[in-house]
Amino acid sequence: MAPSSFSRALLLVLALSSAALAPGPAGATGVFRVRRKFPGHGGAGEAEERLAALRRHDGRRHGRLLGAADLPLGGVGLPTETGLYFTRIEIGAPPRGYYVQVDTGSDILWINCVRCDGCPTRSGLGIELTQYDPAGSGSTVGCGQEFCAAANAGVPQPCSSESSPCQFRITYGDGSSTTGFYVTDLLQYDRVSGDGQTTPSNATITFGCGAQLGGDLGSDSQALDGILGFGQSNSSVLSQLAAASKVPKIFAHCLDTVRGGGIFAIGDVVQPIVKTTPLVPNMPHYNVNLEGISVGDAILQLPTNIFDSGENKGTIIDSGTTLAYLPEEVHKTLMAAVFNKYQDMTFHNYQDFICFQFSGSVDDGFPIITFSFEGDLTLNVYPHDYLFQNGNDFYCVGFVNGGLQTKDGKNMVLLGDLVLSNKLVVYNLENKVIGWTDYNCSSSIKIKDDMTGFTYTVDAHNISSGWRFQWHKSLVLLLVTTIWSYLMF
């Protein structure tokens, strides 16, 4: 995702390495390699469009998350413009590679199929798109099969017989959609087998074969082959692998904004030790109980029920969202506390960002923001994380007023990569908890292999070797210089 963490968050994406055919043992672990998505080049006009696209992406994703009840698969979704992560997986026998977005807010894996109506054939990301052919090694899932009923949450399907293809349809907050049918085939992946080593493995999984795309999903600029959901439902790839005794139902990511890349792995993380908070039960996303927010040493005085969970309320941890969104009352109180020492400061509003001039170190001039969760778990957000800058002492705040988003989302807290970067985040679905700790994502973690009992080192990766660009300097300068020029002239 550049000296500021916001720009690093904008640039970071994850990628899964390809693997060959080979069976894997029960309780194994898997590792994903990390890839940044956006090259840091282009003119000022492109930079301005990227900032606008970032806001559109988060706005649409926010609407998708909140509109889960309207989706036939219960919360399945895809960032349509500036998704933060993508992976390369291999499917079939013989295997073929596909680039898919990784999304912790959705459940199923789906990829575009041959003869797809409206599917892109090229991508502005510099990757080669591939459409899946179910006539190869795949088999179509029938309406009478158990997976069909489970994936569609009991919603009756338009089937002429039990052998008719089981269909799916996903509609997103911006009106984009994908429709198709389910197939079963082999997924190839890398199993952790030693310190910094992997062994190719595979498993049979069921996933969606996209037959038609609508809206921005068919755009060439950010096109990928599909989406890989890491949600909680039994239809997710993670759940299917766990049900087949291939991996535990635990995964972790660490997004590196220092060197780029990072860690994305499946398995029981034993080092570093991560403190956790319970997941709110019976929720389609990773909802947690937020209990309070502090700015420096001062606890914000907010209504006692402001963070209560419920319909269109509560707090979601979502690595697929770039920024952080707060209810209007929370946002207003937080901004007042952050800028308490600067009563005479002049602010500019640009695409819902609060921007200002400041000379000196923001880490010395502004307070740490601390989110406190059930179970005495805290999450610190440092000034260099929530403020992004250019070389002319011009800064913008990455916290956004959620009241400016959708009607349904105005009372929700949505915490994205603005607060998750440079932290190891562990999703333990077996124990129904999620946790994190500040961490050097350029280093490594240790994961226990449940079958052998051995503990292995998983290293950080950045497989974007084909993209040699100076992301650490260029993109944020272009973005904020454009903002400054806009405001001044």
User: Using an 8 Å Cβ cutoff, are 87 and 186 in contact?
Assistant: no
More confident residue, 404 or 184: 184
d(CA 488, CA 93): 58
Catalytic residue among 103, 225, 417, 449: 103
pLDDT at 37: 47
Signed CA dihedral, 7, 405, 362, 416: sign only: negative
pLDDT tens digits, one per residue of 407-443 = 566 889 999 888 888 899 999 999 999 999 999 988 9
pLDDT at 12 over 50: no
Answer left, alpha or beta for residue 360, where phi above 0 means left and psi between -120 and 50 means alpha: left
Q: Distance between the two ends of the chain, CA-based, in angstroms?
A: 29
CA-nearest of 99, 146, 143 to 123 is 99
For residue 488, the 8-state DSSP code is H
Distances 161 to 140, 156, 164, 201, 284 between C-alpha atoms, Å: 14, 12, 5, 35, 30
Above 50 in pLDDT, residue 64?
Answer: no
Of the ranges 19-28, 76-85, 282-291, which one carries the lowest mean pLDDT score? Answer: 76-85
DSSP assignment of 58-83 equals HHHHHHHHHTGGGSTTSS----SS--
* Strand 96-103 relative to strand 197-214, pairing: unpaired
Domain 271-429+474-488: CATH superfamily is Acid Proteases (2.40.70.10)
Per-residue pLDDT tens for 102-118?
A: 777 778 899 999 999 99
Is 318 annotated in the active site? yes
pTM of the model: 0.79
Q: Please report which helix (H) or strand (E) contains residue 185, including its range.
A: strand 177-194
pLDDT in tens, 177-215: 889 999 999 998 888 888 888 888 889 999 999 999 887
Burial label for 78, CB within 10 Å (0-12, 13-18, 19+), is buried
Highest mean pLDDT: which range of 39-53, 88-102, 244-258, 353-367: 353-367
pLDDT(469) > 50: no
Token couple for 351: 């695409």
User: Do 95 and 132 form a contact (C-beta atoms < 8 A)?
Assistant: no
Q: Which tokens go with 210?
A: 């996209």
- Minimal CA–CA distance to 481: which of 125, 40, 11, 60? 40
Confidence label for 54 from pLDDT (cuts 50, 70 and 90):
low
Confidence of residue 240 (pLDDT cuts 50, 70, 90): very high
Q: Give the confidence band of 91 by pLDDT, cuts at 50, 70, 90.
A: very high
Give which of 241, 171, 178 is closest to 206, Cα–Cα: 241
> Of the residues 190, 318, 449, 450, which is catalytic?
318
Contact 418, 399 (CB under 8 A): yes
Q: Is the pLDDT of residue 46 over 60?
A: no
Model confidence at 156, pLDDT cuts 50, 70, 90, reads low
- The reported pLDDT for the residue numbered 468 is 30
> Exposure string (b/e) for 391-428, b if CB count within 10 Å is 16 or more?
eeebbbbbbbbbbebbebbbbbbbbbbbbbbbbbbbbb
Q: Of the ranges 133-142, 289-298, 342-351, which one carries the lowest mean pLDDT score?
A: 342-351
Q: Which residue has the higher pLDDT, 276 or 151?
A: 276
What confidence score (pLDDT) does residue 289 get? 97
Q: Looking at the predicted structure, is the pLDDT value of residue 78 above 50? A: no
When pLDDT is cut at 50, 70 and 90, the band that residue 314 belongs to is: very high
Residue 260 has pLDDT above 70, yes or no: no
Write down the CATH number for the domain with range 5-267. 2.40.70.10
Tell me the CA distances in angstroms from 419 to 46, 109, 284, 399, 465, one per residue in order: 26, 26, 21, 10, 27
Higher pLDDT, 339 or 176: 339
Using alpha carbons, select from 382, 362, 361, 355 the residue that is nearest to residue 371: 382
For range 296-307, the mean pLDDT: 95
- What is the DSSP track for 236-289? SHHHHHHHTTSS-SEEEEEE-SSSS-EEEEESEEEES---EEEBPTT-SS-EE-
Lowest mean pLDDT among 11-15, 32-36, 455-459: 11-15
C-alpha to C-alpha distance for 187 and 439, rounded to whole angstroms: 31
Residue limits of CATH 2.40.70.10 in the chain: 5-267, 271-429+474-488
* Beta-bridge mates of residue 262: 255, 461
What's the mean per-residue pLDDT of the chain?
A: 77
